[in-house]
Amino acid sequence: MNNTAMSNAWHHSRRGRGHRHKEQDRPNRERAVEQKAEDSVPRGACMTMCPAFELRQREAQNRLHRFEMLAGTERDRLPCADVSRAVKEYSRPAAGKDSTRASDLRPPSVLLKTVCYLVDDIAASSTFQPWTEVYSFVSDRLRSVRQDMIIQRVSGPDCVAVLEKSVRFLLYASYRLCGQPLQYYDPRINDTHLQESLSWLLESYRDGKHRHQEEFQALSLLYNLGSTHALQHVLELPERIRSSPAVQLALAVSRAHSERNPVRLLRLSQRLDFIQVCAVHRHLLPCRRDLLLLYSHGHSSRNCRYPLQRLARLLSLKDPLAAELCRVCGVSVSGEWVSFSKSSFTEAPSGDLQCRRTHEPVDDEQWNCPAGSVIHGCA
Amino acid sequence: MAHITLNQYLQQVLEAIDNRDGPFCAEMLSFKHPHVANPRLQLSSPEEKCQQLLEPPYDEMVAAHLRCTFTVSNHDFVEAYKCQTVVVQSFLRAFQAHKEENWALPIMFAVTLDLRIFANNAEQQLQGKGKGNVGDMLEKAADQLMSCFRVCANDNRTGIDDSKRWGMLFLINQLFKIYFKINKLHLCKPLIRAIESSSMKDEYSTAQRVTYRYYVGRKAMFDSDFKPAEECLSFSFTHCHRSCQRNKRLILIYLLPVKMLLGHMPSHQLLKKYDLMQFADVTKAVREGNLLLLNEALVKHETFFIRCGIFLILEKLKIITYRNLFKKVYHLLRTHQLPLDAFLVSLRMMKVEDVDIDEVQCILANLIYMGHIKGYISHQHQKLVVSKQNPFPPLSSVS
């Protein structure tokens, strides 16, 4: 038989068989569909921290951030962009806007480099002041990094590394900027970003092994102190992670909180490292108030007095600050002595004591902890 | 059933619809019924045949059901879920057109139950492949169930015997199961409100009411409302049919911690009867004020307690254990001016090493605040001064 005839016959028979592929070839079809779905996931091709298109546009419209300007041109009518320091900004997704152009998306390797730049060269640097502006810039650019990751459905070690640094930065910021005026720092917005990043990070930990998992599970529990959901999550972690020192300490703090033992909680908090304190600090002032509430009821007696110094130690505050907290909560202080009375404690304090003022630990040691080492904590 | 032809099947369905035979029609559409194993009915495209014999939307509903049996035979639960969605949607169209009649309620029960089960299976299948977010399919199923719920709830002009409102509790129980699974308990609240405000709430079948109270009780536990939790779970337990040992045990798992928090310890007999010996050590520890045993018991059966979601509640028993221990100290010393050191010693005897005098004061202050002890602490004299009358009120009267 000559080749042409055979190949013709072959073509015919293939055509005829088309309709039979329905059920038998289901697994093949599924794989083909999956492949097609994978191909439709956008892949970034922008190898710089800021896509060229955006850079030109923002430069022309005078929308560069101070930290992105070429040195010496800041005061010009139209400052020049410094390509090595410009970073893609966050932009809200909108109908009609194509956020999936490869030239505008940064691949995971570039995203990681971007985050390291933001942390090392901007957040940790002491040359950029005020830090509220640093925070505003870095948190926005980190948000854009996360956006690129979502669009490209990045997962795995790169994703985890980016999220870990973001979480440390946001935790540090929540501590350092605590009490700043709302226009410079809004704790609720920071909290939203932090919770998003944390839950994404914890979800990513489900697959594979991750070096810093214990640390971040502990940080998540501390940040969400009192949340049954967060606690239940930790209890369901594998034994290996649950028994790590970081998680055990976080669990002990959590237990002290749920057993309503503020003395124990504050005592355990002394053992936390700096970033852990950043995570838990917003719960400490309410905890101190709770101590005063419990003691107001437990020590309620006209004839009895409690030494201020000892109370200050329990509250882990300096004496004058402890006295002020008492006054704010309706607990009467007279010289070296505190008098507790259940009727005088007030739940709605008049003239609030700002959390910020309680940040200073009694021994001042870590107050000036440099940002870089904190945010980079783990490589 | 395993041998009937497609034609025979469709004829039976048609007859059931014409005769308004809800229960039979439900069986013909339920995956509990053996007809789903019949290969003659497992078809990937039965639409034409269905359209020949049945009126819309029944034709679509039955066709989707048959497609579903086909996909289930291939173990493709994701597809099965999609088919079942069509079944429920077409059913709902038919149901809404039934004016002033509720004969189709059994069908609704059958198809919605299968919907939830397939959603569960589909999610498990996707998780096995490493895809899909937990809860996505269940949430979609919940949306469908809510659509059915609305049709039932809005039927308020029909007479009580023909009202579709009789379907509400069943759907609510299905929704509870989903919300508990996806951990969105706050969505239960509007449903609870809907039933509590209904005049029919005590007229539903006992089985449905038992299930309802079980979930409401569990939700109350989660919200730390222990008295209402105890009422609901007790109702559930006593009204649960004797033959449903598995369900009774399930209810007891949640009823026990609540009762213990309110000061009622279960008997050894009860625990043995329902195979819940995990609680035996916990009970003993709390009763004796033995913190060491309590901690040991919680650790020993940790996995079980965590899986059931009661570990955190059992930890709350610690404060009750402290109270029982300190009450013993009070009885031993027979004075109403108790040195704080005595409590510290009692804790040390229970091998609680890392507590100091300040923490003891805090624990006592907490007990006083909660009303478990009537008295006050004098730091200067390092004493707990208790009331001469009833300094340790019974647990059931507190909280």
Q: Is A207 on the interface with B (CB under 8 A)?
A: yes
Q: What is the pLDDT of residue A36?
A: 56
Find chain B residues with C-beta within 8 A of A293's C-beta: 369
- Residue A10's pLDDT band, with cuts at 50, 70 and 90, is very low
Q: What is the dihedral of CA B55, B60, B66, B69, to 10 degrees?
A: -150
DSSP lists the bridge partners of residue A339 as A332
Q: Touching check for A301 and chain B: CB below 8 Å?
A: yes
Q: pLDDT value at position A14? A: 41
Contact B195, B168 (CB under 8 A): yes
pLDDT for A25 equals 52
Q: How confident is the model at residue A320 (pLDDT cuts 50, 70, 90)?
A: very high
Angstrom CA distances, B173 to A265, A271, B176, B220, stand at: 40, 47, 5, 16
Q: Flag whether pLDDT at A8 surpasses 50.
A: no
Using alpha carbons only, give the angle A175, A88, A149 rounded to the nearest 5 degrees: 80
The predicted structure's pLDDT at residue A350: 54
Alpha carbon of B384: minimum distance to chain A alpha carbons (Å): 9
- DSSP one-letter string for B167-178: GHHHHHHHHHHH
Q: Which of residues 248 through 287 in chain A touch B, CB cutoff 8 A?
A: 255, 258-264, 267
Q: What is the pLDDT of residue B315?
A: 85
Q: Is A132 on the interface with B (CB under 8 A)?
A: no
List, as one string, the DSSP characters of A170-184: HHHHHHHTTT--TTT
pLDDT band at A354 (very low <50, low <70, confident <90, very high): confident
For A355-376, the pLDDT digits (tens) are: 878 876 644 444 455 666 777 6
Would the pLDDT of A40 be above 90? no
From A298, A304, A305, residue closest to B369, measured CB to CB: A298
Q: What residues of chain A, 148 to 177, have a C-beta less than 8 Å from chain B?
A: none
Q: Which residue bears the tokens 């901690």?
A: B295
A188-200 per-position pLDDT tens digit: 999 999 999 999 9
What average pLDDT does the segment A322-343 reach?
Answer: 92
Q: How confident is the model at residue A29 (pLDDT cuts 50, 70, 90)?
A: low
Q: How far apart are CA B79 and CA B72, in angstroms?
A: 8
Residue A22 pLDDT greater than 50, yes or no: no
How distant is the Cα of A363 from the closest Cα of chain B, in angstroms? 21
The sheet carrying B383-386 orders its strands as: B337-339, B383-386, B375-378
Interface test with chain A among B376, B385, B387, by most A beta carbons within 10 Å? B376
pLDDT digits (tens, 9 = 90+) for A165-187: 999 999 999 999 998 999 999 99
Residues of B in contact with A258 (CB under 8 A): 312, 315-316
Which chain A residue shows the shortest CA-CA distance from B130?
A: A207
Q: Which residues pair with A333 in a beta bridge?
A: A338
CA distance B87 to B98: 17
Greater pLDDT, A16 or A108: A108
**Residue A35 pLDDT > 80:** no
Q: Residue B317, Cα to own-chain centre: how many angstroms?
A: 22
What number is the average pLDDT over the span A130-155? 93
Please tell me the distance in Å from B43's CA to the nearest CA on chain A.
11
Q: Which helix (H) or strand (E) holds A251?
A: helix A245-258
- What is the pLDDT, as a whole number, of residue B107? 96
pLDDT value at position A37? 58
* Complex ipTM more than 0.85, yes or no: no
Residue B167 confidence (pLDDT): 93
Nearest to B378 among A255, A304, A310 (CB): A304
Region of B390 on the Ramachandran plot (φ > 0 left; ψ -120 to 50 alpha; else beta): left
Contact B315 A263 (CB under 8 A): no
Nearest to B309 by CA among B187, B180, B188, B214: B180
A75-116: pLDDT as tens digits: 888 999 999 999 999 988 887 777 788 889 999 999 999 999
Q: Tell me the average pLDDT across A29-58.
A: 79
Most distant CA atoms of chain A, gap in Å: 118
A232 reaches B (C-beta below 8 A): yes
The Cα A44–Cα A32 span in angstroms is 23
- On the question of pLDDT at A137 being above 50, the answer is yes
Per CB-CB distance under 8 Å, the chain B contacts of A295 are 361-362, 365
pLDDT digits (tens, 9 = 90+) for A261-303: 999 999 999 999 999 999 999 999 999 999 999 999 999 988 8
Chain A hits for B355, Cβ within 8 Å: 264
Residue A136: HSE in the Cβ half-sphere, 13 Å Cα cutoff: 15
- Are B376 and A293 within 8 A, CB to CB? no
CB contact (8 A) between residue B362 and residue A258: no
Give B-chain residues touching A231 at CB under 8 angstroms. 312
User: Taking CB atoms and an 8 Å limit, are A23 and B44 in contact across chains?
Assistant: yes
Query: Could you give the CA distance from residue B22 to residue B110 in angstroms, rounded to a whole number?
Result: 10
State the pTM of this model: 0.81
Give start and end residues of each alpha helix (H) in chain B.
6-18, 22-28, 47-53, 58-73, 77-97, 105-128, 136-153, 168-181, 188-196, 206-222, 226-239, 245-261, 268-273, 278-288, 291-300, 302-308, 311-315, 317-333, 340-349, 357-370
- Select from B309, B315, B362 the Cβ nearest to the Cβ of A264: B362
Question: Are B368 and A259 a contacting pair at CB < 8 A?
Answer: no
Residue ranges of chain B whose CB lies within 8 Å of a chain A CB:
44, 130, 183, 222, 302, 306, 309, 311-312, 315-316, 318-319, 355, 358-359, 361-369, 376-380, 385
pLDDT in tens, chain B (399 residues): 668 899 999 999 999 999 999 999 999 999 999 999 888 888 888 998 899 989 999 999 999 999 999 999 999 999 999 999 999 999 999 999 999 999 999 999 999 999 999 999 999 888 877 676 778 899 999 999 999 999 999 998 888 889 999 999 999 999 999 999 888 889 999 999 999 998 888 999 999 999 999 999 999 998 888 899 999 999 999 999 999 999 999 999 999 999 998 889 999 999 999 999 999 999 999 999 999 899 899 989 988 998 888 988 888 899 999 999 999 999 999 999 999 999 999 999 888 888 999 999 999 999 999 999 999 999 999 999 999 999 999 987 876
Residue of B nearest to A300 (CA): B376
Q: What is the pLDDT of residue A41?
A: 84
- Residues from chain B that touch A224, judged by Cβ atoms under 8 A, are none
Query: Which chain A residue is nearest to residue B43, measuring alpha carbons?
Result: A23
Q: Cβ A294–B366 below 8 Å, yes or no? A: yes
Q: Which of A295, A315, A339, A343 to mutate to test the interface with B (most CBs of B within 10 A)?
A: A295
Type of residue found at A228: T
| Contacts of B199 by beta carbon, 8 Å cutoff, 6+ apart | none
Q: Is A229 on the interface with B (CB under 8 A)?
A: yes
Q: Do B365 and A207 touch (CB under 8 A)?
A: no
pLDDT (tens digit, 9 = 90+) per residue, A241-267?
999 999 999 999 999 998 999 999 999
**pLDDT score of A123 more than 80:** yes
Which of B180, B218, B359, B362 would best serve as a mutation to test chain A binding (most A beta carbons within 10 A)?
B362
Report the alpha-carbon distance of residue A41 to residue B179 in Å, rounded: 32
In whole angstroms, what is the distance from residue B340 CA to residue A213 CA? Answer: 42
- Residue B388, judged by CB atoms within 10 A of its CB (0-12, 13-18, 19+), counts as exposed
CB contact under 8 A, B364 and A298: yes
The sign of the dihedral angle between the CA atoms of B225, B231, B234, B239 is negative
